[in-house]
Structure 1
Amino acid sequence: MRREEALSPGKSAFVSSPAGSGKTQLLAERYVKLLEENLKNKKLQEYSKEFAGKALTTENILSITFTRKAAFEMRERVFELLLTSKSEKLRKIGQELLEHPERIRISTIHSFCHSLLRRFSLEASLDPEFDIIGERAGEELSLEAIDTAIRDAIEGDIGVRKDLQAFLTRLPLRKLIENVSSITKKLPITDPTFAAWQGKGNQIYFEIFKLTVDILKRNKTEEGRLEYHDLEVETLKLLRENPQWLNILYAFNSQIQHILVDEFQDTNFYQWRIIYALIEDWVSGSGIKDELLANPTLFLVGDEKQSIYLFRGADVQLFREAKRIMEESFGREGRYVYYRPEENYRSLDALINFANSLFQKVMSGSEEDNLRTSYTQFKKGRKDTRKGEVGILLYRSLAKMGAEESREMDAEIMGGKIQSIVGERSVFDKEKGKCVPCQWKDIAILLRDRTSLPQIEKVLKRRSIPYVIIGGKGLFEVPEVRLLYAILKFLADPTDDLSFLSLLLSPCSHLSTSGVSLIARAPGFTLLNRFEATRLSGKEEKVRRKLLSLIASWRKIAFRSSTVEVLEKVLMDLAIWNIYSSEEEVANIQKLLSMVQALDSEGLTLWDIAGHIAQFSQTGDEEKGQIEVEGTNAVNVLTIHGAKGLEFPVVFISRIHEVSRDKRTGVFIDEAGEYVSVACSEGKKEEGAEIERMREIYN
C-alpha cells in the first residue's frame, strides 16, 4: 500500500530505500506515472501547446542522479516500461522518445548544473564556451594558485614569513598544500569550520586559503575553465546571489514541475542547496504551478546506511534535514509519503539473515542521533528457493608473520577457494533466467584498500586465475609504465643515470646483468658516456650497438616530433608490445600515451611533459588503464567503495580481521549475490567460540 502511495503522481515522497530493494525500478515507475499524469492534465496540455507549440510528455520532469551509470540504467528502465506497456499510447510515446532521447531529462547533478550555467552564462558572468577540466588539471591549477598565494603572502609582509615558518613547524608544506587543495573542493568559505580554525591560532592558514581561492578563481575565469565542483558552486551562486535569481528561478519553474533525485544520501552541501533553491517556492506554496493546477512534486530516494562518500563532501545529516523539510512542507497539505521498503530482491536467505543479525547490533542509532544510523530488517523479495551461503575462511596467523606475508596468505586461501568454486557451483544467470555453472566473471574480490593488491595479483597469476582490476590505481607503479617513464626522463635529460639504468636493466634492452654491471663500472662522467665507450663481448656487443643506434635516433627526434610520436617509436623499436602484451599491460601503456598526447596538444615540449608526468607520479593515485570488462571471463578485483551499486553472484572480502585494531575477527555482508567468503585471521579462544556460533547459525 505504501508503495502505491509513493508512486502517486500527486504526492511528494521520501523513500529510504535499502540496497537491493528495487529503487531503480521504483524511480522508473514514478517517472512513467508522472508522464501519464501529464497526458491527463488538459490545462497543462493546453498551456504547453499555446506556449511551446506541442503537447507535453516528459519536458516538465527532471531526474537527477549522481553517476552516469545510474542515469543510463534509469533511462533504460523507463524505455523498457514504456515500450512494453499495455497502453498503446505509452508505447507510441516510447517510440517517439527513442527518436528524441534528449527529451528525457535524466542526468547527473553535474550535467544539470552544466546545462543551467550554459543557458544563463551571461547572468553568471561566465564565458559561454567555458571548458570543464578533469581532476588532474584542476590539481595543477590549485597547486599553482597555492604557490602564488604563499609567495604573495611572504612578499607582502615580512611578519607573515615568520608566522608561516612557525606554522610549518607544525604542518609540513606538502600537507598544507594537500589540505588547502582538498578544502577548496568541499566547503564554502562561510563554513563555521574556518572560523574554528582561526580561533585555534591558524590565522596564517586561513589567510593563505582565502588568497588561494581568489587567485584560483581569477585564473579559471581568465582561462574560461571550470572544475566539476565549480559547477555546483557557480550554480548555487546563480540561484542565490545573482541579481537576476528570481527571473532565473521563474524560468526554471515555468518548465519543471517534478523533480526526482536518486542516491540522495550521497548529496553534499552545495548539491542539496541547489535542489532546495529549485523547490523553495514549492514548499512555500507559491509559483506558476498553482496557475497551472499541477501540483509540484519532489521524489527523493536514498539510504543513509549507504552514505560512504564523506571524503567527497557527502553529509548524511542532509538526508535527515531533507526528510524533515518535506514532512513540514508537503505533509501539511496531505501530499507527502514516507516509504521504507523492507523487501530485498537481490539476495538469498542466508545473506539476508546474516545481515539482519549483524547490522541490527551494529546500527543501533535513532532519529535523534545524528552520528549513528538505525537498521530495519530485510525480508526476502526474490522468488528463489535456494538458500545461498555465507562462508568464513579461517587461518591461523603466525606470531612472526609480517603484514605482507599475512596478506599473501589471505590471497592464497581465497585463490584456492575460487578455484574450487568455478565450474563446481551454480549461480543464477539473470539473462537466461536459470542456474548455470559458476565462471570466473561471476566472482568479485573486494578490497578495503589497495595495499594488498600486489599480493592478490601475485597469487592469481601463480594460480593462472584470469582477473581484471576495476578502477585500480598506481599507474606509475607498474613495470611497463615505469620503463616508458624512465625512457622519457632519460631523453629529456641524458645525464639522468638512474633512468638510463632502468632501461639497461629492463628485458627490452636484451643485455645481461653482468654486461650492465661492466658498463656501470667503466670510467666516464655519465652512464651514457660509459655505455658509448664500453665494448662488450660476443653477441652482447651487437645488442649494445643496436641499442646505441636506437637511442641516437630517439634523441634526434626528441625535440622535433611530438612526444607521443617519440614514445610510439620507442615502443616499436624495442618491441615493448611483445614483452608487455597482456590486456592490462596494453591498457596501461595506452593510457600513458593518451596522457602524453593530451599534454602534446597543449604545445608542451618533451622536457615539460616529463616534468608534468613527474608530478602525476608523485601522488600515486593515478588510475590504471581500463580494459573492456563486459564479456571478459575473469575474476573482478575492486575496492569496496568501487563496488557500490554493482552485483556479483560470488563475493570475497579480504583482510576482514584488519577492520578493527582491538578485535581480531570480523564479518562483512555482501549486498549482491549468493555467497560471501571472508579471509580472516583466527583470534583468541573466546572469539573462536563466537565464530563457531556464527557457523551454526549461518552455515
Structure 2
Amino acid sequence: MEKYLDIRKNVIISSPAGSGKTEKLARRYVSLLLSGSEIEKILAITFTEKAAAEMKERILKILEKENFDNFIKVREKMPLMRISTIHAFCLKILKRFSIELGLDPSLEVMDEFNASILWSESVYESLMDEKDSPDLFFDFIKNKGLKGWDSLSRILDELHSKRPYPDLILKNANPVVGEEEKEILELYSRCLNRYTNKKLERHLIDFADLEILTFEALIKNPEWQNILYSFDEHTDHILVDEFQDTSTLQWKIIDKLTEEWRSGIGSKRDAGKLPTIFLVGDEKQSIYLFRGANVSVFQKARDEFSEWFGKEYYFEEIRENYRSLPEIINFTNSIFTRLMPPSTHKHWCTRYTPFDATRSGDGHVELILIEDGENIKTRREREASSLSKRIQSLNNRYEIWDGGIKRRCTYGDIAILLRKRTHLCIFEDALRREGIPFIILKGIGFYDEPEVALLRELISFIINPADDYSLFCLLRSPVFGIDYRILHELICKDNIPLIDKMQKPKNKKVKGAFNIISGWVDKSKYTPLAMLLEDTLSETEGWRFYWEKQRHLNIKKFIGLIEQYESQGLSRLDIREKLIKTKLGEEAKANINTEGMNAVKIMTVHAAKGLQFPIVFLPSLDEDNTPRTSSIVIEEEEENISLAYEEDSTKRKKIGHFVKRKEKELEEEKRLFYVAVTRSRDFLCMLGVPKKETPHTGRLAYITDNLDYISHIKIINESDVNEIYSSFHLTPFTTCTSKRLLPEQKFIEPISYEPQFKWQDVTEDLDIRVKHGEDWVILGRVFHSLFEELAKGILSLDSLEKRGLILLKNATYTIKDMDRLIEIIRKVFKTLDISGYLKDIVLPQTNAYAELPFILQRGNTVFKGRIDRIVIKDNIASIYDYKTFPVREKELPDLVAKYRFQMDIYRHAAKLFLSLKTKSYLLFTHMPLLVEV
C-alpha cells in the first residue's frame, strides 16, 4: 500500500504537473471509504466546481473497477458527498448558522458584474453625501487637481479589488503608516459601509464576504463554539486539492476548524476516531497571486504539520511524470532547475525538484526565432504567420501517441497558449489565411460580439422606440442590411424620431423593415422580451447570419440573461439600464463543448491550467513580463497586514512593500511559464522575437540566458519554417475578397465535426406559465423556492407568508399588487394542507430529496435537470414534479402527455443512482391534484 493511503496519517503531497495529483486525492478518498468512514463525514475542497464534479466521477470509476459492492453503496449516497469549492463550503456554513450569525437564510452570492455595479453606486453616493458639507472626499480630490476624482475612484477600486485584506486591516485596526494611507482607508471605509448596507438590504453577499464572514464566525462570533462543535460532529476527514492556490485566510479557516483535531483531545479521540487532513498541490503551479493565493502557505503548512502531528504526519514529493515524453521532461528539468534554484531563502520563491519521465518515445521541443521588425504589430504578424505554417506542416503528418498507439495528429490535438490576449486578433487572421479551423476557449468580450451587440440594440429600441441610435444599428445590421446612404437621407429629413420617418418611405427595403419592426414593438406589449428575441430571429432568419457555433451559443446565452432579468422582476427600463452598463463588463463568451471538434484550441495559460494537449504552441515569449505595480500594495507577513500607497512610480522602486510585491510577481511569472510548458505531452513549440542589440526580455530571456545549461531543444528561424512548409507543397487557403457585413468568424467549423454527445435540459417550458401572465412566472419560482426550503427544513410553516413576501420583493419590486399574490400563496398552501399533499410530499421526510440535480446519458444524448422532490417509502422512490400554474381539468390529458417524456427521464435518473423501483407523479398545486405519469 502506498504510504499516502495510510488513513492514520495526516498527509501533504507535493505533486508536480502530470504526476497524477487528482488520482492520488481520489484514491485517498476511496481508502477512507473502504476503512469505514461515512461518506457524509468526508469533506473535500477543490478549486473549481468543474474539479469537484471530476473528483466525484473519478472516485466512482475507481470503485466501479476495483470494489463494485462499495460502488453501488456510494452511488446511492452521491447527493451526500461533500465535495465542493471553498466558497461553496463557506456558504453552507453561513446558511446553516444564518440565524445565529444574524444573516438572512435566503442570502445569495452576487456575481462579479452586479457586485461591481453596486460598489460603483456606493462610491458615488458616498461622494454625493458630502456635497453640502465638504469633507475628506473633497479634500483628497482638491489636492489631486483636475484629475482628482478619476484618481480617487481608481484608488478606491484598486483597494476594493484586493478584498478581503482591506476589510481585515479595518476590522483588526492594523496600524497604518503615513497620512495619505490613513485618509484612503477612511474614505474606503465609508464606501465599504454603504456597500455592505446595500448588500444586506438585498439579502446578498459577494465572494469576498464568504471568507470574511466565515472566518469571523469561527473567531469572533459568540456562537463560534457551537459552529465548531457542529463541524466536528459532522466531519472526520478533510481533503484539499490544489493547495498551492490557497490564500492565507482560507488556510486560517481550515486551521480553526481542525484546531481540536491536533490537540490530541476531544470527542473523536475519546471515541477512538482519528481525524485526518490531506493536502495535495504543487507550489510550482501557484499562479493566482492576483486573487490572493499565497504560495508560502504550502511551506507553512508543511512546517506546522510536522510540529502538530509528529509521527502521525507524512510528506511525499512525487517525482514521476505520466504526461510528457522524455524530451519535454528533460527540457523542463534543465531550464527550471536554473530558474527555481533550491538554494533560495525567500519564502515566496519556488524551489524546483526535477522529475522523471515514465513514458517512452521521442518527443520534440523547438524554439522558432523571428527576425525583429519595425514595430510590435509587424513582429507579431510575422510570428503568427510562422506559427500557422508550422501547424500546417504538422497537421496529418506528425505522429503522436494516443492510448499507447501512434497516429497522425489533427488540428484538434493542437493548442495555442497565450500569456496575454493583446495580439489575439493577429493570430486569428494568420490562422484564417491558412484555412486552419480554430476555437477560442474561455474568451472574454461577450458584450462586444456583433450578435450580442445587435440583440442589445434591439432590446434598447423595443423599450425606447425613440432611440434612433439603436434603430440605426438594427437597420445597418445583416438582418436588414439597409444602405448607409439611404439611412443618411432619412436621418437628415425632419426633426422627428427615425421610426416615424420610416412610415412613408420611397425605398421598399425601408418599408419592409418598418412593417417588421413595428410588429415587434406591438408584440412587445404582451410578450416577454426573451421570447420576443427568439421570435425576431426566426422571423428575419437571423440565425443564418450567426451560424457559427460560438455566435449561436452567444445568442442563446444573451436570451438566457434577458429571461433571468425578467424572472427577477426587473422593469424594462431597469433591463435597458443594465444592458447599457454591461458594455463595460468583461463577461465570458458562451462555453462551447469542444468534444469531437477538429479545431485548434486557443486560450490563455491561466485557462489551460489542469489541461493537457499532445501539441502545444507558446508564442510571444519576448513579451515583457515585468510587473506593472499599482499605486497601492497590501502585504501580509505572519499576522500583520500592511498597506502602502505611492502614486509616483519612480519612488515606488525604493519602497520595501512595492519592491517585495514586484519580486513576488516576477517569481509567479516563472511559475506561469512552468504551467505553460508542462501542458504539452508530445510536442512543444515556442516562438519569440529577439530584439536587435538589446538584451532579450520576458520568457525568451529564461531560455537564451540559460542556453548553456538547457538540453533537448531545437532552435530554428523563419526561413527554416518556410522551407519545412514548402516541402509539403502546401497551397495557402485564399479567402473571398467580396465585402462582408460581419467581421470574419472566429471559428471555422470543419466538415469532420462529429459531436459525440448532445446535451439537453429537461425543464418545464417557460411559455406554459407565461401564457397565464408574468405574475405566474414569478409565482412559479417563488412556489418552488418555498417548497424546497420547507422540504430541507430551512423554513417553517409559521414563517411561510413572511418568507413568501421576501421572495416576491426579491423577485420583483415592480409588482404593486403584492397582497393579491400573497393571498394566492396562502390559498394554495391551505388546499395542499387540506388534501394531505403538504404533509405527505412537501414537508421534511426522513428519506427524501428536494431539488436534486442529475445528469443522465441515453445513447448520444446527455440529459440534465433537477427533480423537485423524491420521497422513498417501502423501497419505492416516488418522484414528484410541481406544476404551479392554474390548470383546468380538460387540459390535464394534454399536459400529462406533454410531460411524459420529462418524467420518464426523471425515473431513469432516479433509478440509476437510487437502485430502487420508481414511480412518477405530477402535482398540480393550484387545483390541487396528483396525477401518476
TM-score, normalised with respect to structure 1: 0.87
Contact 1:97/1:103 (<8 A) preserved:
no
- 1:678 is matched with 686
The structural deviation recorded for 1:523 is 5.2
Cα distance change on mapping 1:231 and 1:523 into 2, 3 Å: same
Q: Distance in 1 between matches of 2:130 and 2:4?
A: 56
Of the three residues 420, 424, 434, the one matched with 1:453 is 424
Distance (whole Å) between structure 2 residues aligned to residue 193 and residue 428 of structure 1: 56
The aligned runs of 1:409-558 (5 Å cut-off) are: 409-430=382-403, 433-522=404-493, 524=495, 527-528=498-499, 531=502, 535=506, 541-558=507-524
Other-structure match for 1:22: 20
Distance 1:480 1:294 in 2: 59
Where has structure 1 moved over 6 Å in runs of 4 or more? 191-194, 685-689, 691-696
DSSP 3-state at the match of 1:610: helix
| Larger RCO of the pair (alpha carbons < 8 Å, separation 6+) | 1
User: Which residue, out of 84, 106, 119, partners 2:65?
Assistant: 84
Aligned residue for 1:488, secondary structure, equals helix
Name the structure 2 match of 1:353. Answer: 330
Inter-partner Cα distance in structure 2 for 1:57 and 1:192: 39
Task: Give the structure-2-normalised TM-score.
Answer: 0.66
Q: 1:426 to 1:247 in 2, by over 3 A?
A: same
Equivalent residue runs for 1:6-405 within 5 Å: 6-37=4-35, 39=36, 56-85=37-66, 90-154=67-131, 158=135, 160-166=137-143, 169=148, 172-185=151-164, 187-190=166-169, 199-331=178-310, 334-364=311-341, 366=343, 368-382=345-359, 385-399=360-374, 401=375, 403-405=376-378
Partner of 2:588 in structure 1?
Answer: 623
What is the SS of the residue equivalent to 2:416?
Answer: strand
> In the aligned structure 2, how far is the partner of 1:276 from the partner of 1:575?
59
8 Å contact from structure 1 (residues 149, 212) kept in 2:
yes
Task: Flag structure 1 segments of 5+ consecutive residues without an equivalent.
Answer: 40-55, 536-540
Q: Which of 542, 554, 571 is the aligned partner of 1:588?
A: 554
Match of 2:732 in 1: none
Matched residues in 1 for 2:542 and 2:530: separation? Answer: 15
Of 646, 652, 667, which residue of structure 1 is paired with 2:611? 646
Describe the SS at the equivalent of 2:607. Answer: coil
| Deviation per residue, 1:433-472 (Å, 9 max, x gap) | 4222212221111111222222222333333322222110
Q: Classify the secondary structure of the residue corresponding to 1:123.
A: helix
DSSP-derived class of the 2:315 partner: strand
Report how far residue 192 of structure 1 moved: 10
CA deviation digits over 1:98-127, x for unaligned, max 9? 111134332221222222223222222222
Other-structure match for 1:44: none
Amino acid aligned to 2:15: S
CA apart distance, 1:528: 4.6
Change (3 A) 1:661 1:177: closer
**Matched residue type, 1:553:** G
Distance, in Å, in 2 between the alignment partners of 1:367 and 1:337 is: 24
Question: How many pairs are equivalent?
Answer: 660
The amino acid across from 1:216 in the alignment is Y
Work out whether residues 444 and 648 of structure 1, in 8 Å CA contact, stay in contact via their aligned partners in 2: yes
Partner of 1:656 in structure 2?
621
Over 3 Å counting, the alpha-carbon distance change for 1:444 and 1:194 in structure 2 is farther
Q: Does the residue aligned with 2:273 lie in a helix, a strand or coil?
A: coil
Q: Secondary structure at the match of 2:622?
A: helix
Q: Distance in 2 between matches of 1:498 and 1:582?
A: 27
Relative distance call for 1:182 and 1:597 in structure 2 (3 A) is same
Instruction: Tell me whether 1:635 sits opposite 2:600 in the alignment.
Output: yes
Could you list the per-position Cα deviations for residues 6-46 of structure 1 after superposition, in whole angstroms to 9, with x for gaps in the alignment? 32211112212111111112112222222333x3xxxxxxx
CA distance in 2: counterparts of 1:194 and 1:448, whole angstroms: 38
Distance, in Å, in 1 between the alignment partners of 2:46 and 2:552 is: 33
Bigger shift: residues 436-445 or 3-12: 3-12
Secondary structure class of the residue paired with 1:444: strand
Deviation at 1:135, TM superposition (A): 2.0
CA-to-partner distance for each residue in 1:278-332, whole Å, 9 max, x for gaps?
111122222222202222221111111111111211111222222221111112x
Name the SS for the 1:63 alignment partner: strand
> Quick one: which amino acid aligns to residue 316 of structure 1?
V
Contact 1:343 1:381 in 2 (8 A): yes
Q: How far, CA to CA, are the matches of 2:626 and 2:290 in structure 1?
A: 22
| One-letter amino acid matched to 1:587 | L
AA aligned opposite 1:240: I
Letter in 1 for 2:369: L
Q: Kindly provide the amino acid, as one letter, of the partner of residue 77 in structure 1.
A: R
Which whole-Å CA distance do the structure 2 matches of 1:610 and 1:407 have between them? 39
Q: Say if 1:289 and 1:295, in contact at 8 Å, map to a contact too.
A: yes
What CA distance in whole angstroms lies between the structure 2 residues aligned with 1:408 and 1:522?
A: 46
Distance in 2 between residues matched to 1:680 and 1:231, nearest whole Å: 42
Aligned to 1:53: none
When you count strand as a share of all residues, which structure comes out higher?
Answer: 2
Q: Quick one: structure 1 residues 550 and 428, their matched pair in 2 at CA, closer, same or farther if it must change by over 3 Å?
A: same
Task: Report the Cα distance in structure 2 between the residues aligned to 1:309 and 1:678, rounded to whole angstroms.
Answer: 23
Q: Please say if residues 150 and 208 of structure 1, whose CA atoms lie closer than 8 Å, have aligned partners that are also in contact.
A: no
Distance apart, 1:185 and its partner CA? 4.6
- Please give the root-mean-square deviation of Cα atoms over the aligned residues, in Å: 3.0
Q: Distance in 1 between matches of 2:214 and 2:82?
A: 18
CA contact (8 A) 1:347 1:672 kept: yes
TM-aligned CA distance change 1:544 to 1:101, over 3 Å? same
Structure 1 residues 598, 661: closer, same or farther in 2, change over 3 A? same
CA spacing shift, 1:594–1:177, aligned 2, 3 Å: farther
Q: Distance in 2 between matches of 1:548 and 1:695?
A: 68
Contact 2:127–2:137 (CA<8 Å) still a contact in 1?
A: no
Mean alpha-carbon deviation: is it higher for 180-189 or for 74-83?
A: 180-189
Cα offsets for 1:596-636 (capped at 9, x unmatched): 222222223333222111211113x1111122222322211
Q: Deviations over 1:497-552 (max 9, x none)?
A: 443332233222232344334445545455556555653xxxxx211110122222
Q: Percent identity?
A: 33
In 1: Cα distance, 2:46 partner to 2:32 partner: 18
Deviation at 1:360, TM superposition (A): 1.1
CA contact (8 A) 1:304 1:319 kept: yes
8 A contact 1:366–1:372 mirrored in 2: no
1:568 aligns with 2:576: no
8 Å contact kept, 1:342–1:377: yes
Change (3 A) 1:193 1:201: farther
